Amino acid sequence: MHLKSLSLINYKNFTSRSFDFDAKINCMVGANGIGKTNVLDAIYHLSNGKSYFNPITSQNINHDASFFVIEGEYLKDDRPEKVIISAKKGQKKIIKRNGKNYDRFSEHIGFLPSVIISPAYRDLITEGSEKKIY
Ligand SMILES: Nc1ncnc2c1ncn2[C@@H]1O[C@H](COP(=O)(O)OP(=O)(O)O)[C@@H](O)[C@H]1O
Ligand SMILES: [Mg+2]
């Protein structure tokens, strides 16, 4: 699976911004607060239907806006897949794949697997699998 491009409108600190990604390794470099983690969170959002860092959807809308749109263009099993998540204050979040609305978010979960590894989960990698995380 390859996330080819990501475009964000009013997602957190981004008002309008697009990114193209390589099929292998991508590095993001920039000053503190520029939005690197927010880009990762937008990708997580496309996979999991919600933010990793702040599951309260309205708080992920840019402070000066009333909606956000996250759009990802993927190649999966050699097929193009376009996923769009949009949220408007006071309305139910919408998730679409190739132009078609999902009835339930749960139908989408697992289609575009992604995880965020944060320092809080470091022990899962370095320690045994019985380690509990609180
Ligand atoms: N809803 C929002 N509206 C506007 N800015 C936001 C919102 N949520 C987070 N931010 C801003 O995003 C910035 C943090 O971005 P972040 O991705 O953590 O930066 P980095 O990882 O590059 O250090 C902060 O300046 C924060 O104020
Ligand atoms: Mg960061």
- The confidence score (pLDDT) of residue 127 equals 76
Q: Which two tokens stand for residue 110?
A: 């697992």
* Residue length of the chain: 134
Ligand nearest to the CA of 41: 1
- For a substitution probing ligand 1, which of 6, 8, 12 has the most ligand atoms within 8 Å of its CB? 12
Q: How far is CA 70 from the centre of its chain?
A: 8
- What is the structure's pLDDT at 71? 98
Domain boundaries, the chain: 2-126
Dig out the tokens for 7 from the structure: 């475009």
* Token code pair at residue 17: 């911004």
77: left (phi over 0), alpha (psi -120 to 50) or beta: left
* Rounded-to-integer distance, Cα 68 and Cα 9, Å: 5
DSSP string, 72-122: EEEEETTEEEEEEEEEETTS--EEEETTEE-S-GGGTTTSS------GGGH
pLDDT for residue 41: 97
Instruction: Kindly list the protein residues that place their beta carbon closer than 5 angstroms to ligand 2, a single-atom ion.
Output: 36-37
Task: Average pLDDT across each block of 10 residues of the chain; the chain has 134 residues. List them in order.
Answer: 98 98 96 96 96 94 98 97 97 96 92 88 73 58
pTM: 0.92
pLDDT at 121: 77
CB atoms within 10 A of CB 112: 19
The CATH class for the domain spanning 2-126 reads alpha beta
